[in-house]
């Protein structure tokens, strides 16, 4: 094994044991490992920000004489005014820009990346020609599409809050909407259960990988003595 691989393997082995020490309760080794991970993550984010944002989008245009780089520079300087109470109102200008840009990107991302693809995917489920090309029986495809459509609509009905509240603070949504909301609650519970199972499976896979890594590292360290 190369020396560099051996050193990094020992580092990963020690950090893994420090994380596993939490099984014995909160201790200084576990806290040291968490601080190490947070520090490494913060350093990685900072270097990525400098390399991919600050240098190419701010410093490099200024060195080439482009005045467009002055816009983010001025906004950053104005944002620093939020640190001083007397001139903190000046920092509202870049804050308003950040909030507006963030909201537009979020809404646009939800529309383009979630809502429209989900609607199109639901509509495509009723395309019998596509189902025939994939050798799916039409009845099975219609049943699948209808189930997903009902699940989507009833789940949206569960989040229907634009109605009056009763004296006991429950929603007065009417019997039809309430029935659809109950059905949507079932679909929502199934979805959350599937997500939980996926997260649990991923965590279990990561645990198995770490335990296997610790075991293999111990065997590699003992191999010279075991012959």
End position of a domain, from candidates 15, 46, 65? 65
| Contact in structure between 126 and 145 (CB atoms under 8 Å) | yes
- In a domain, residue 58? The reply is yes
Number of domains in the chain: 2
pLDDT given at position 132: 63
- In a domain, residue 32? The reply is yes
End position of a domain, from candidates 65, 98, 115? 65
**Does one domain contain both 105 and 80?**
yes
CA distance 56 to 49: 10
| Contact in structure between 75 and 68 (CB atoms under 8 Å) | no
- In a domain, residue 12? The reply is yes
pLDDT given at position 163: 63
pLDDT given at position 168: 58
Could you identify the residue written with the tokens 């467009």? 68
**Does one domain contain both 106 and 57?**
no
pLDDT given at position 169: 60
Q: Closest Cα to residue 158, out of 173, 169, 170?
A: 173
Three-class SS state of 171: strand
Please give the distance of CA 192 from its chain centroid, rounded to a whole number: 16
CA distance 138 to 129: 9
pLDDT given at position 203: 92
Segments forming the whole domain that contains residue 16: 1-65
**Does one domain contain both 39 and 98?**
no
Helix or strand holding residue 105 (H, E): helix 92-110
CA distance 73 to 206: 42
- Residue-by-residue pLDDT tens, the chain, 227 positions: 567 777 888 888 898 889 889 988 889 999 999 999 999 999 999 999 999 988 888 888 888 877 777 888 888 888 888 888 888 888 899 999 999 999 999 999 888 888 888 888 888 877 777 666 667 777 887 888 888 889 888 888 888 766 666 665 666 667 888 888 889 999 999 999 999 999 999 999 999 998 898 888 888 877 777 65
**Does one domain contain both 1 and 61?**
yes
- In a domain, residue 55? The reply is yes
- In a domain, residue 196? The reply is no
End position of a domain, from candidates 65, 89, 114? 65
- In a domain, residue 38? The reply is yes
Q: How far is CA 126 from CA 121, 151, 152, in A?
A: 9, 15, 15
pLDDT given at position 74: 87
Using the Cα atoms of residue 86, residue 89, residue 90 and residue 94 in order, give the sign of their dihedral.
Answer: positive
Quick one: how many helices (H) and strands (E) in the chain? 9, 0
Angle at 189 between CA 145 and CA 109, to 5 degrees: 65
pLDDT given at position 33: 92
DSSP state of 26: S
């Amino acid at each position: 094994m190369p020396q560099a691989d051996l050193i990094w393997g020992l580092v990963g082995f020690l950090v893994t044991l420090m994380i596993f020490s939490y099984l014995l309760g909160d201790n200084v080794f576990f806290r040291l490992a968490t601080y190490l991970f947070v520090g490494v993550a913060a350093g990685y984010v900072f270097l990525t920000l400098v390399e991919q944002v600050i240098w190419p989008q701010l410093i490099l245009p200024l060195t080439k004489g482009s005045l467009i780089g002055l816009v983010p520079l001025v906004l950053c300087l104005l944002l620093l005014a939020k640190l001083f109470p007397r001139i903190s109102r000046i920092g509202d200008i870049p804050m308003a820009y950040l909030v507006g840009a963030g909201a537009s990107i979020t809404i646009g991302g939800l529309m383009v990346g979630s809502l429209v693809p989900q609607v199109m995917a639901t509509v495509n489920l009723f395309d019998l020609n596509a189902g025939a090309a994939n050798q799916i029986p039409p009845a099975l495809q219609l049943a699948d599409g209808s189930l997903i459509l009902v699940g989507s609509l009833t789940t949206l009905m569960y989040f229907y809050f634009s109605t009056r509240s009763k004296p006991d603070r429950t929603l007065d949504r009417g019997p039809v909407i309430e029935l659809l909301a109950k059905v949507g609650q079932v679909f929502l519970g199934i979805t959350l259960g599937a997500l939980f199972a996926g997260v649990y499976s991923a965590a279990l896979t990561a645990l198995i990988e770490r335990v296997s890594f610790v075991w293999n590292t111990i065997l590699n360290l003992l191999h010279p003595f075991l012959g």
